[in-house]
Amino acid sequence: MAAMAQDHPIFTESIRRIRVALGPTDLELLQQQVLERLVHSSGDLALGALLRFSPGACEAGLTALQQGAPILTDTAMAAAAVAPMAKRTLQTTVRTVLEWAPDQAPLGSTRTAAGMEQAWRELSAVGPAPLVLIGSAPTALEVLLEQVAAGALSPSLVIGMPVGFVGVAESKRHLAESGLAQIRLEGSRGGAGLVAAAVNALLRAAAG
């Protein structure tokens, strides 16, 4: 495990100001740290009203990371945003479903969804269950939920924050109903930067 470098003074001051602007919350420590990182990465204080945690979600993600669980993302952008923190902290493996995606999208589906289907078949068969980050592809989230419902291994944690207006609200609702350990944003907001910010908060805490 690599030692965490001291935070830059600008980052420290930013978090202090975010904490003041947010005011008192009912969040636990890890949940608060996730929220602060989301606001820091987006500049959007309104995210606090949209953020949802299943019971014990942050602790489940933290434990999985400390036990060597990999991180699986839906986009290369999310993977690129997580990789530096993963390297600085736990040397966590970061992969994207696009490694398994076909060159052409199957009829009626997407490359990301097809990649998730194949990736989960392989990754769930070995080692600790990955943490799954969905910031752009609700179709990939739906495929993951379908596979788990059919008996596949459950992810250690799902950070479900797909952004957009087509299939997004439905996929988030299905995630909420799944019973999986999860951190999600309600509504249409989300994106690669936000899922990366959430897991980076857990990586920092896990490196402790």
CATH for 102: 3.40.50.10230
At position 64, the amino acid (one-letter code) is A
CA-wise closest residue to 75 among 179, 159, 157? 159
List, by residue number, the catalytic residues. Answer: 40
- pLDDT, one tens digit per residue, over 58-108 is 999 999 999 999 999 999 999 999 999 999 999 999 999 999 999 888 888
Within-domain flag for 176: yes
Q: Structure tokens of 56?
A: 């014990």
Q: How far apart are CA 170 and CA 85, in angstroms?
A: 31
Query: How far is Cα 80 from Cα 184, in angstroms, rounded to an integer?
Result: 20
* Residue span of the structural domain in which 192 resides: 9-207
196 within some domain: yes
Structure token digits, residue 26: 């009912």
Span 152-197, pLDDT tens digits: 999 999 999 999 999 999 999 999 999 999 999 999 999 999 999 9
Would you call 181 helix, strand, or coil by DSSP? Answer: coil
Q: What's the number of domains the chain is made of? A: 1
